[in-house]
Amino acid sequence: MAPDPRPIAFFDSGVGGLPYLEAARPLLLGERFAYLADRGGFPYGTKTREQVRARVLEVVEAIRRRFDPKVLVIACNTASQAALEAVRKANPGLPVIGTVPAVKPAALRTRSGTIGVMATARAVEDPYLDELVARHAPGVRVLREAAQDLVSFVELRYPGSTEAERLAAVEGHARRLVELGADEIVLACTHFLHVAADIARAAGAGVEVVDSRDGVARRLASILAERALGAPEGSPGGGLFALTGPGPFEPGYAVFAARFGLEGPVALDLG
């Protein structure tokens, strides 16, 4: 089978999925990437499951029209929980990878018997998380921390923030979990990966902060290999950062694009 020069698409409600793209790059040299932040639909964490599913299906359709990706990564926990199966059903010829909160490794590693899950307001209440906990954390006490305010902080304020501002944004959430006995904190919203080091600092020694980016990167590399979808030999790679919603774009998005080595931002029309 011939090499496939099409891009790999990553999709999130905003900038949260960028660390997932960053984790995949070293495993996929020469690949092209298209990253889409659904600025026009942000945030997902305050919407109903049905609203998120409808929005995700609309955006994925636009991604396929614009980029024709060979693989799609839904690098958003709320979107994955609400819409992953619907996206796969609507796009049978497209390999689709979702993000799953790292409850299993946290449950295996906890010493205190208590783990914390930080997520959006929508995700902490979703039945998907209930099922994940029942399957992978039986006998483990699982605390749930809705940190919807932190999503907006990362999306809108992170690029120009100071260390003190970042610590102030995460400290209340991290300390509540630690004071209730958690020694593992699962980042179940991709936005939180941008402030993972700040969360670890606020939580203190002896608390591990875990996420799923490495597992998603390995799964992506595996699918490309299994299906012979790798880029042509000698491909220079590269990536593009796209946004939904009307312009002009906030300056912070250009900062994110540059920080993660992507061209743009450019507009993606959902029409």
pLDDT in tens, the chain (271 residues): 568 999 999 999 999 999 999 999 999 999 999 999 999 999 999 999 999 999 999 999 999 999 999 999 999 999 999 999 999 999 999 999 999 999 999 999 999 999 999 999 988 988 999 999 999 999 999 999 999 999 999 999 999 999 999 999 999 999 999 999 999 999 999 999 999 999 999 999 999 999 999 999 999 999 999 999 999 988 999 999 999 998 899 999 999 999 999 999 999 999 7
Asked if residues 77 and 110 have their Cβ atoms less than 8 Å apart, the reply is: no
Q: What's the pLDDT at 60?
A: 98
**Could you tell me the two tokens for 184?**
């593992």
Token reading at 4: 């496939």
User: Assign residue 204 a region: left if phi > 0, alpha if psi is -120 to 50, beta otherwise?
Assistant: left
Q: What is the pLDDT of residue 271?
A: 76
pLDDT score recorded for residue 39: 97
Catalytic residues: 76, 189
Q: Which pair of structure tokens corresponds to residue 99?
A: 């993000």
Nearest-angstrom CA–CA distance, 156 and 219: 30
d(CA 206, CA 34): 38
Cα dihedral 62, 68, 74, 79 in deg (nearest 10)? 20
Give per-residue pLDDT as tens, 65-80: 999 999 999 999 999 9
C-alpha distances (whole Å) from 253 to each of 14, 73, 87, 149 are 9, 20, 26, 19
Structural domains in the chain plus CATH codes: 8-99+213-267 (3.40.50.1860), 103-210 (3.40.50.1860)
* pTM of this structure: 0.95
DSSP E strands, the chain: 8-12, 32-37, 71-74, 96-98, 114-119, 141-146, 184-187, 208-210, 238-243, 263-267
Cα–Cα dist 114/116, whole Å = 7
